């Protein structure tokens, strides 16, 4: 994604989100992937079709705490790993083929492909994320959180389940992340600091997440 300073705004459209903090406004155009940082103002907020108010974060001075002990590994059934291969290939194809300026939009739309399906359980989401990480180890080039979470969402859609895909913003410093959550909105197979991110786009469209969907969480 492109990042600009507080100069002239170039984002617009029905899928633009204005993420507001006490002192700044982050504009994310989900059609182009362009992100801009502006001083907080009513004018900046009006540029977004949806507005998300970000939680104030305590100063981190650019550092975070990480656990000193690695979490235990959960075995992933073979058929989940085999299903992850075409999901990863499809995600890679969506990323590579097509207009480069619409790459981000294509991945976002693909991540939301199962929006009308029954929600995945936390166990299913965990299997999908772990299987995609296993299958994507051989992918050349950039394969980061957006690609990984999109492939996991595709895998869940393939088994008839909706992925609670999230894209969001954290502050101090301002940064973006994409991840999979369970039906209650709890991040799946993510580090603890993912809780610092406020969702700005979900399968329901631009805006904050609608948590607490019906579905078995375990």
| Same-domain check for residues 95 and 193 | yes
65 belongs to a structural domain: no
Asked if the peptide bond before residue 128 counts as cis, ω within 30 degrees of 0, the response is no
Query: Which domain range does residue 47 map to?
Result: 3-53
Mark whether 164 and 199 lie in a shared domain.
yes
Instruction: Specify whether the CB–CB gap between 53 and 45 falls below 8 A.
Output: no
192 in a structural domain: yes
Which spans in the chain are helix H?
A: 42-45, 78-96, 103-111, 122-135, 145-158
Give the number of domains in the chain.
2
- Identify which has the larger pLDDT, 162 or 39: 162
**45/90 same-domain check:** no
Q: Output 46 or 186, whichever has higher pLDDT.
A: 186
What is the C-alpha separation between 11 and 206, in angstroms, rounded? 14
pLDDT-based confidence at residue 181 (cuts at 50, 70, 90) = very high
pLDDT in tens, 27-66: 999 988 889 888 888 887 787 778 888 776 655 555 565 5
180 and 82 co-located in one domain: yes
Residue 71 in this model has a pLDDT that exceeds 60: no
Q: Answer whether residue 58 is part of any domain.
A: no
Answer yes or no: is 45 within a domain. yes
Q: Which helix (H) or strand (E) holds 168?
A: strand 164-170
pLDDT at 218: 60
């Amino acid at each position: 994604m492109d990042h600009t300073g507080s100069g002239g705004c170039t984002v617009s459209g029905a899928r633009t989100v204005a993420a507001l903090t006490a002192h700044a406004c982050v504009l994310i155009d989900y059609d182009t992937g362009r992100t801009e940082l502006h001083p907080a103002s009513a004018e900046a907020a009006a540029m977004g079709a949806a507005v998300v108010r970000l939680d104030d974060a305590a100063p981190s001075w650019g550092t975070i705490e990480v656990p000193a002990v690695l979490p235990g590994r959960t075995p992933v059934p073979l058929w989940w790993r085999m299903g992850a291969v075409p999901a990863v290939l499809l995600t890679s194809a969506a990323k590579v083929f097509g207009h480069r300026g619409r790459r981000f939009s294509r991945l976002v739309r693909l991540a939301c492909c199962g929006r009308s399906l029954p929600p995945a359980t936390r166990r299913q989401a965990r299997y999908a994320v772990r299987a995609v990480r296993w299958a994507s180890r051989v992918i050349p080039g950039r394969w980061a959180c957006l690609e990984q979470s999109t492939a996991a969402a595709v895998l869940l859609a393939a088994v008839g389940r909706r992925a609670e895909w999230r894209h969001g913003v954290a502050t101090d410093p301002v940064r973006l992340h994409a991840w999979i959550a369970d039906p209650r909105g709890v991040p799946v197979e993510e580090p603890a600091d993912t809780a610092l991110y406020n969702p700005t786009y979900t399968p329901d469209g631009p805006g904050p997440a609608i948590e607490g969907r019906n579905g078995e969480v375990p």
